[in-house]
């Protein structure tokens, strides 16, 4: 299958004072998955701008984009559009608005359309905790640093 286009994504690694990282549990078009907060880069946006927009849209908080962490260096087709090739960039982010994050005690997998967020300890951030291969790779990098 020939790739028709690139799909550029950007994700934030946000930690709380306990060293836990924020995850997003989502259900979109009947598909349930868990990922790091973030999403697609829109035409005309830079990576940092897109990441700030995504956090404002998904969580209602402003973030400061910090150090670049990772970009996948392997081919990854999109789980939703198999002819798209995913390029996923990850940055460490910070926010002084962590108290504003609504963290739900929700059942996994999320079965209703939408998204919920939760904090998870790095020791619990296993492959089973995340849905997408690139996120799983990033989780392994986080656990080993």
* pTM listed for this prediction: 0.93
Share of the chain above pLDDT 90, in %: 86
Q: Is the pLDDT of residue 3 over 80?
A: no
- What residues make up the domain containing 127? 5-143
Beta bridge partners of 88: 9
CATH code for the domain in which residue 108 is found: 3.90.79.10
Structure tokens at 108: 């996994």
Cα–Cα distances (Å) from 39 to 105, 111, 113, in that order, read: 23, 20, 16
CA angle 30, 31, 32 (to 5 degrees): 120
pLDDT digits (tens, 9 = 90+) for 23-64: 999 999 888 999 999 999 999 999 999 999 999 999 999 999
Q: What are phi and psi of 37, to 5 degrees?
A: -60, 140
User: What's residue 2's pLDDT?
Assistant: 60
- Segment 94-105 shows an average pLDDT of 93
| Cβ atoms of 40 and 86 closer than 8 Å | no
Separation CA 46–CA 143 (nearest Å): 28
Separation CA 120–CA 55 (nearest Å): 18
User: What's residue 79's pLDDT?
Assistant: 92
- Segment 124-133 shows an average pLDDT of 95
User: What's residue 104's pLDDT?
Assistant: 76
Listed residue (68, 80, 71, 63) closest to 28, CA to CA: 80
Q: How many domains does the chain have?
A: 1
Binning pLDDT at 50, 70 and 90, where does residue 109 land?
Answer: confident
Between strands 21-28 and 38-40, the pairing is unpaired
Q: Is the pLDDT of residue 95 over 90?
A: yes
Q: Which helix (H) or strand (E) holds 59?
A: helix 47-59
């Amino acid at each position: 299958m020939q790739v028709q286009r690139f799909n550029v994504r950007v994700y934030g690694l946000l930690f709380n004072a306990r060293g836990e990282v924020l995850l997003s549990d989502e259900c979109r078009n009947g598909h349930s998955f868990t990922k790091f907060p973030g999403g697609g880069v829109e035409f005309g946006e830079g990576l940092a701008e897109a990441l700030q927009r995504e956090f404002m849209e998904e969580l209602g908080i402003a973030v400061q984009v910090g150090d670049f962490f990772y970009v996948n260096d392997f081919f990854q087709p999109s789980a939703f559009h198999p002819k798209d090739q995913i390029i996923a960039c990850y940055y460490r982010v910070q926010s002084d608005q962590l108290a504003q994050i609504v963290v739900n005690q929700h059942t996994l997998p999320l079965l209703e359309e939408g998204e919920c967020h939760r904090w998870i300890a790095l020791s619990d951030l296993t492959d089973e905790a995340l849905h997408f291969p690139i996120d799983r790779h990033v989780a392994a990098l986080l656990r080993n640093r």
